[in-house]
Structure 1
Amino acid sequence: MIKSYLKTAWRFLLKNKTFSFINIFGLAMGTLCCLYILLYVQEQYNYDKHHKQVDNIYRITTDLELTGDKHHSSTSSPPITPAMKNDFAEVQQFTRVVPTDGFGAKQHLLRYKEKSFYEHDAAYVDSTFFDMFNYHFVGGNASKVLTEPYSLVLFKPVADKLFGTEDPIGKMISIDNSFGKHDFKVTGVIDESLGKTHIHANMFMAMNSGGLGGFVRQNTTWAGNNFLFAYIKLKPGASAAALEKKLPDLLNKYGAQQLKEIGMKKVLHLQPVTTIHTTPGFEHEFTKTLDPSFLYILILIAVMIQVIACINFMNLSTARASKRAKEVGVRKVIGAGQSDLIRQFLGESFLLALIGVAIALPLLILLMPYLNQITHSDIQLSFFTNYRLWIMLLSLVVVTGLVAGSYPAFYLSAFKAVKVMKGNFNNHISAGGIRKSLVVVQFVLSIVLVTGIIVIYSQLNYIKNKDLGFDQSQKLIFNFYTSTTQRQMPAFTNDLKQLAGVKAVSNADNYLGQFVPHDHGVYLAGGNMATAIDAQNINVDENFVKANGIKVISGRDLRQHDSTRVLINETLAKRLGLNPQTAPGTRLYTKYEPNPVTFVEVAGVMKDFNYNSLHSEVNPFMLVYDGQQDELNTIIVSTDSKNYKGLLSKMEAVWHKDIPDAPFEYSFLDSEVQKQYESEITLSQIINSFTLIAILISCLGLFGLAAFSAEQRSKEIGIRKVLGASVSGIVALLSKDFLKLVMVSIVIATPFAWWAASKWLQAFVYRINISWWMFALAGVLAIVIALVTVSFQAIKAALMNPVKSLKTE
């Protein structure tokens, strides 16, 4: 029986090649998209799940409130976790991680023998780090790698780059960064083959190595200095909720006085490590997190594409029912029951789904590099080690087979044997209303996706062209990562000023569009830290405002030797209760224990500008003049040259003259600003690619239905042509029914698309207004696509010789 079913199904597929191609290709493309998206979502939710006893590992997060400013931070103060280990028996172990980026060491110059290069993403960690977190050690002993001062664990690609085929364990390398130049001993080499983690670094340096690590180990500040990532592991059976309730008493025991002095409210929380990667909203994350809504959108896209492919199968199967009506009648006459026929037709749909998967897999392997490039991922197909992959494949076959085949199976098996054997089956196989409804569903989904493309593109275009309040065009950024190159900065700065095409050159400790790590609480005379306003700040020289095109609306710009003067933005002036026009000359005070009260004078007020991304509003902000300029490790160059290639060539020559031992590296400010929107750009690329596939699948289905419609009405078309109907009239006749369905789809899709777009745009403080033309454009595109698809078959039918269609009458 099964053999008979398979043979019949195979013969039907071969006999109806167009029908078979549309179904198999649609299911294959849908399965390809669906499978890749499921693999991507699985990878994102699997971050950190490979660590041993991971359910007992938590990160300490901090909620801060200072004079009304609230901060939801993923970091905490250095002494907190050691005190937890000491005071609470349920805490088995702790470890702390300090990325060097936030302290000016964004790049590190590594040297071994004659080989040297810059490397990024480094962190100081406690010796207990690899006891708590599991990485695959290619070389070295996990329990001992960070016990000695100036010991170092390298990520395998970095070790390969530095040592080649030589064994790195025990070798001494030189690391030069903004903290100075030191020799480190390589004690371990790791990779991420066990699984991905939110704590990704190319270098892990022992915390007991002096410098920044020494500062952490000696730090006793409980209120401020919330700059490191702290983790604890609880003993088996310990309750995280119960421990979290004890944390206010811990803060009160050790930090009450410090918190009172600066007027800060502080609450500590325990966050499960497995939730970190998919929990956005924290300040100061170690690596970029992913919003779950982004993953939900991807899953929704995957479902939509697969549903569109399944609809093709349902529509074409019911449309071609007349071809199989007599087969059903014969089978019923010789004893087949309805349940037998249902199993037969479901089996055929499972067979098609299986063929679709068989075609999708090699295509997925072929397209994997392209898809990974779109999603900025590195997903690999592991057929022998990833059992979840086989579960996904089996689930796709089963679900697709059931969804695509259920309606045709029940529909075809319900034919009455006597009537279909007599040729009277028209009433049974019309199903026109069902097919029209499914076409509407297809185009509703396609229109929603197209509208998504339009809205996302419009928002990204708005971001790209919005006046941020500073000039980001024609700006070059040079970063100086080592103590040696920082000493050579003044010479390079002076030489740059002499080049034609250079308008201004400024030194700073950061550039706009980047995370601002520094903040200070400031208050007016008569106030105290309890009433202070927390203001982010960048240390700059006297040329920063000019180089970045910032507008000073009152007072004056910074000048040389302005060691006690600052520029503040309008927001900070208003938060302090000052009139921005009269604020210049006002003294601002600050005090952090054990330092005495200090003050700065407002030199001028800047017009508010978006120094951070458009996801957040403008906060209180200052530019602080750094008279010593020993911490300014960035040069911003404003140019007006039309010959960038020539200008960069001259800059490179000056670089090699002034800084001969470091590679020439630079970036463009506008490109750095756009990097803040990587998630949105990625989403745009994903929706663009998968929407094209969804539209292609929909067009194939519509093409098949148009061909069926033309075939069913061939005699009607012949009669109309004999009676004088024109080709255009016949094309319009065959097209109008499908265009009506598209118009209905537009009406249904518009409110869904508006709701989805509104939800997505809420992530931006600064955003576009949703306009009617976005939905109109999506609708027009849908009409054009449908018209082009249907017209091909309509024109073909209209051009046929009527004699051929009428000769049997």
Structure 2
Amino acid sequence: MFYNYIKIGWRNLMRQKVFSVINITGMTVAFCVAFLLGIAAYFEWSYDQFHTNKNSVLQIYTAERMADGSIQNNSSQAAPFGPAIEKECSAVQSATRFGWDYEAVSYKERSLDLHVTFVDPSFLSMFSFPQLEGDKNALQKPSQILITKKAADKLFQGESPIGKLVQINMNNHLKPFTIAGVMADVPRNSSIGFEVLCSFQNVIAGLDDPDTWDNQSYQVFAQLRPHATPAMLEQQMKAVIHKYRNNKLSSMKENGVTPGPDGEMLTMRTFLLSDMHFREESNTGGDINPFYPWMLLIMALLIVATASINFINLSMGRSFTRAGEIGLRKALGAVRTQLIMQFWCEALIVCFIAFMASLALGLLVLPSFNRLFSYHLDFSILLNVRLISWTIITFFFVTILAGGYPAWLIARTNLIEVLKGKMSLGKSGFLRNTLIVVQFVVAVLLISSTAVLWQQLHYLRTRPMGFDTEQVISIPMTGNVDATKVLARMQQQLNGDPHVISSTASYMNLGAGLAGGESTWKVGFNFKGHDAKTVWVPVEYDYLQTLGLQLVSGRDFSRSFGADSNTVIVNEKLAAALGGGKDVVGEHFEFDGQQIQIIGIIKDFNFKSLRQGIGPLALKLTPSLQAAAIFVKVKPTDLPGAMAAVERGWKEVVPQGDFKGSFLNDNVNRMYEAEARLATIIVCSAILAILISCMGLFAVAVLVIGQRNKEIGIRKVMGASVGSIVALLSGGFLKLVAIAIMIATPMAWYIMSTWLQHFAYRIQIQWWLFALVGMAALIIAFFTISIQTIRTAFMNPVKSIKTV
């Protein structure tokens, strides 16, 4: 029986090739998009889920109350913090400290810049990173390291790495290490990454005061004991704060900080390892908004829903041409269930063909999808049992939604009516119109959101940052590089080059360079009895000149002043906080055992992304700086030639090092890759939604206008013009699109206004933007249906009256 339904359904589809092609094409594209966006969303949700202890391992961060009542979160902790909570907190089974850097790992004549991570031995039992071979207790000895298989293959080129001696740059000194084991490569869906694991004792050995609680530069993870809870640990850590950071609490109180509702000014908080990927407080994860995967899934569902609406409308529209068939089936004894099964099988055939075609299409476009959205996905992710189950459930739900309802509606029609060749689906016209409105609401909503998002992205990329982005090249210092010597020799190499104006170095790169992001170092100090906190940036001479920073008071660092190594230049934000409206140039404060003098004030500039406001900043002259980046200002007349000249200079100084120089405007643009990716996804979804909606609108127009051929013929005989007939036929559909515009516009305004609140610097949404989008939607809809309306309006009226 089921085979008979399939066979008849196939024949019906072959007789209606135009509508079958429209349905199959729409559903194929929709399923393909749903697959790609769905596996991307699933991949984001899969981050850190492979860890066995994902629900008992926590990352700890600090929530510090400020004098104005705000709270600053920071995941960086002091080196003694990990051992302290292991000792003081009964809820903690083990803790590990975590710090990392890119360092040059050398073996014989080969050297690679690798991601070296410093951890405590408990790291291996806490996290589920498999060790493939070697000593399981390797991290107990500071002189031993573990290396991932991929890194070992690159460094040793087929040799066994076990027992090999390598050298790693530690505090600007090469230190030997023995490779004691090989780790499996870190999965792509891990917030924690490494290529080399090294004992944290090497970090302790390099600290001047390993017991200080003032230097907070490391992440700390804790594993709970059985039956312990995060709330229990947070409660126990209050005693740790009062025991070890009492001086900090006293200083906060003197500065006017008041306790929060829990009675604390400084609180240690936690979040689970399973949530790390979406937590902003984490320095290792937190690189994605938690709504992002939901947005991908919503986009996928909207596209599938739009194609399903086409299917429903076309199925109901075609029912008018199948009145005789349905009546004959009913007269021969077919019951409602059999009719529903027949129509559902036709929907099943369409969806199955579209499903298989979408898999083939997905395999073809997946590489382009990965490049476009910076993913590394493959279809092997579909082998997950949970994902396969949801795919099957979604597939049958779509077939029931797209084919089941029209089948039920058609099967319940009156037998006498259909035997007369007539068919009335009651309120199906209302349903059809409602579904068309829903389609265009989705399309207009996506187009409006795209327009706002691109405006904001353009604003972020073009708004002045307060420093020179066009003429300055930043060169990140990575691996086994002595930044002080490199800067000096680079300046010698570039001295006299016609392309170069000046050069400098800094502990902080600007923007997202090719070797990393916009890392900052925040410190606290006492100024006239009050605590102050600022981003602290060690810099070399000529920093202001090279970056084009504007001095508003005082003077720049100068080689003519021998004592400038104990001076700072502050930005207007910090100067206002310290001086309360008074000029602070010439004032002193104590930091790290030294008396520091403020010699100048610079105009505020955005040293972080425009998602954040400008914070306090202090530039500290530090000769012989181990810099994070070198900056070279070049003349604007030949920027490609200037980049080539700087690269040649680098190769002369560091022949074995990779040149990762980039202009600062490129660094700034890279800071907004997440927004650019979001914009691209919405643009693609909007285009697909409008195309699928127009396909459905065209098909419905063909069916509806076809039922009015006789009316149109009579109107033409009575003298109606072609223009009036086109207006008559188009008016009903354009009204539906206008209703969709009125519904979608306030929705888009609210959604995008909420999204813009995440940016300290943002555009104002203009009314004309929605007017343009509305006009575009009306024009697209008009041209879609005008193909059929104009053709119908020019038909011979005599033929129309005779044949209908």
Please say whether Structure 1 and Structure 2 have the same fold, judged by a TM-score greater than 0.5.
yes
Match of 1:554 in 2: 553
1:13 aligns with 2:13: yes
- CA distance in structure 2 between the aligned counterparts of 1:384 and 1:623, rounded to whole angstroms: 51
Measure how far apart 1:557 and its partner are.
2.1
Of 210, 214, 232, 2:205 maps to 214
Given candidates 449, 452, 461, the residue that maps to 2:449 is 452
Distance 1:691 1:4 in 2: 40
**Aligned pair in 2 of structure 1 residues 352, 136: CA closer, same or farther (>3 Å)?**
farther
Distance 2:382 2:580 in 1: 67
- In structure 2, the residue matched to 1:756 is 751
Contact 1:516–1:536 at 8 Å: present in 2 too? no
From 328, 332, 340, the equivalent of 2:338 is 340
- After superposition, the Cα gap between the structure-2 partners of 1:508 and 1:19, relative to the gap in structure 1 and judged at 3 Å, is same
Q: What is the aligned partner in structure 1 of residue 790 from structure 2?
A: 795
Partners of 2:347 and 2:403 within 8 A in 1 = yes
Aligned to 1:519: 522
Alignment equivalent of 2:189, drawn from 189, 192, 196? 196
Cα offset, 1:477, TM superposition: 0.9
Distance 1:8 1:460, change over 3 A: same
Q: How far is 1:512 from its partner?
A: 2.8
Q: Which runs of 5+ in 1 are unaligned?
A: 101-106
The correspondence of residues 263-662 of structure 1 with structure 2, limited to 5 A, is 265-280=265-280, 282=281, 285-382=283-380, 385-425=383-423, 427-428=424-425, 431-481=428-478, 482-484=480-482, 486-513=484-511, 514-525=517-528, 527=529, 531-560=530-559, 561=562, 562-579=564-581, 582-587=583-588, 589-591=589-591, 596=593, 598-626=594-622, 628-662=623-657
Give 1:240's aligned residue.
Answer: 230
Q: Please state how far the C-alpha of 1:37 moved relative to its aligned partner.
A: 2.1
Tell me the percent identity: 32
**Stretch of structure 1 that moved more, 767-776 or 340-349:** 340-349
Would the alpha carbon gap of residues 384 and 727 (structure 1) be closer, same or farther in structure 2, given more than 3 Å must change? closer
1:782 Cα deviation (Å)?
Answer: 0.9
TM-superposed CA distance for 1:775, in Å, is 0.7
- Displacement of 1:417 in angstroms is 0.8
Superposition CA RMSD, Å = 2.6
Could you tell me how far apart the structure 2 residues matched to 1:804 and 1:240 are?
80
Q: Any idea what the Cα deviations from partners look like across 1:400-446, whole Å, max 9, x if unmatched?
A: 12322343122101111122102232x33672222111111100110
The alpha carbon displacement at 1:164 in A equals 3.0
Aligned twin of 1:127: 121
> Aligned to 1:612, what secondary structure does the other structure show?
coil
For the Cα contact (< 8 Å) 1:325–1:412, is it kept in 2? no
Single out whichever of 651-660 and 90-99 deviates more from structure 2. 651-660
1:671 aligned residue (666, 672, 682): 666
Q: Provide the rounded CA distance (Å) in 1 between the counterparts of 2:185 and 2:396.
A: 33
**Is the contact between residue 521 and residue 533 of structure 1 (CA under 8 Å) also seen in structure 2?**
yes
CA distance in 2, matches of 1:178, 1:215: 7
Aligned to 1:205, the other structure's residue is in SS state strand
- Pair 1:732–1:741, CA change in 2 (3 A): same
C-alpha displacement at 1:674, in angstroms? Answer: 2.0
Distance 2:271 2:184 in 1: 25
Amino acid in the other structure paired with 1:606: I
Cα distance in 2 for partners of 1:3, 1:647 equals: 72
- Amino acid aligned to 2:268: L
State the SS of the aligned residue for 1:532: strand
Q: Distance in 2 between matches of 1:503 and 1:305?
A: 53
Q: Identify the residue that residue 87 of structure 1 maps to in structure 2.
A: 88
Q: Is the 8 A contact 1:374 1:686 kept in 2?
A: no
Q: CA deviation at 1:357?
A: 1.7
Residues 484 and 537 from structure 1, CA distance in 2 versus in 1: closer, same or farther, beyond 3 angstroms?
A: closer
CA, structure 1 residues 180+794, in 2 after alignment: closer, same or farther (shift >3 Å)? farther
State whether structure 2 residue 59 is matched by structure 1 residue 59: yes
Whether 1:150 and 2:143 are equivalent positions in the alignment is yes
Q: 1:567·1:605 contact (CA, 8 Å) conserved in 2?
A: yes
2: CA distance, partners of 1:28 / 1:356: 4
1:127 alignment partner AA: P
CA distance in 2, matches of 1:152, 1:375: 35
Looking at structure 1, the residues matched to 30 and 552 of structure 2 have their Cα atoms a distance apart, in angstroms, of 56
- In the alignment, the residues of structure 2 paired with residue 652 and residue 301 of structure 1 have an alpha-carbon distance, to the nearest angstrom, of 44
Stretch of structure 1 that moved more, 492-501 or 606-615: 492-501
Aligned-pair CA distance for 1:88: 3.7
Distance, in Å, in 1 between the alignment partners of 2:798 and 2:155 is: 79
- Give the Cα separation in 1 of the matches to 2:783 and 2:635: 48
Q: Determine helix, strand or coil for the equivalent of 2:278.
A: coil
- Report how far residue 356 of structure 1 moved: 2.2
Larger mean CA deviation between 786-795 and 607-616 belongs to 786-795
Aligned amino acid, residue 76 of structure 2: T
In the alignment, which residue of structure 2 is the partner of 1:103? none
For normalisation by structure 1, the TM-score amounts to: 0.91
* Bigger mean CA deviation after superposition, 212-221 or 310-319: 212-221
Residue by residue over 1:479-512, the C-alpha shift from the partner in whole angstroms, topping out at 9 and shown as x without a partner, is: 3333445423202123324211222211222233
Deviation at 1:723, TM superposition (A): 5.6
Q: Does 1:229 align with 2:243?
A: no
Residues 566 and 624 in structure 1, CA contact (< 8 A), matched pair in contact too: yes
How has the CA–CA distance of structure 1 residues 126 and 46 changed in structure 2, closer, same or farther, with 3 Å as cutoff?
A: same
Distance change >3 Å, CA 442–CA 217, structure 1 → 2: farther
Letter in 2 for 1:550: L
CA–CA separation in structure 2 for the residues paired with 1:480 and 1:136? 31
Number of matched residues? 784
Moved more, 683-692 or 799-808: 799-808
Structure 2 distance, partners of 1:781, 1:177, is: 61
1-structure distance, mates of 2:598, 2:208: 36
| Shift, 1:454, TM fit | 0.3
Alpha-carbon distance change, 543 to 741 in structure 1, aligned in 2, over 3 angstroms: same
The verdict on how the C-alpha distance between 1:789 and 1:634 changes in structure 2, with shifts beyond 3 A counting, is same
Match of 1:108 among 103, 108, 114: 103
One-letter amino acid of the structure 2 residue matched with residue 336 of structure 1: A
Aligned to 1:29: 29
SS at match of 2:396: helix
- C-alpha distance after superposition, 1:73-108 (max 9, x if no partner): 2232222222222234442222121022xxxxxx42
Give yes or no for contact 2:500–2:633 (8 Å, CA) kept in 1: yes
Quote the offset at 1:740 in angstroms.
Answer: 1.7
Q: Secondary structure at the match of 1:576?
A: helix
Q: Which runs of 4+ in 1 moved over 6 A?
A: none
2-side partners of 1:150 and 1:661: how far apart? 26
Q: Which residue identity lines up with residue 305 of structure 1 in the other structure?
A: I
Cα separation, partners in 2 of 1:717 and 1:137, compared to 1, 3 Å: farther
Deviations 1:594-644 (A, max 9, x none): x54x33222221121111111111111111111x32323422111223223
Aligned partners of 1:716 and 1:164: how far apart in 2? 81
Secondary structure at 1:54's aligned position in 2?
coil
Shift of 1:259: 4.3
Closer, same or farther: CA 342–629 of 1 in aligned 2, 3 Å: same
Distance, in Å, in 2 between the alignment partners of 1:732 and 1:188 is 77
**Counterpart of 1:294 in structure 2: which amino acid?**
Y
- Report if the CA contact (8 A) 2:89-2:237 is conserved: no
Alignment partners' CA distance in 1, 2:581 and 2:186: 58
Give the CA deviation at 1:803: 5.4
Query: What is the letter of the counterpart of residue 538 of structure 2?
Result: N
Distance of aligned partners of 1:655 and 1:496 in 2 relative to their CA distance in 1, 3 Å threshold: same
Q: Which moved more, 1:238-247 or 1:337-346?
A: 337-346
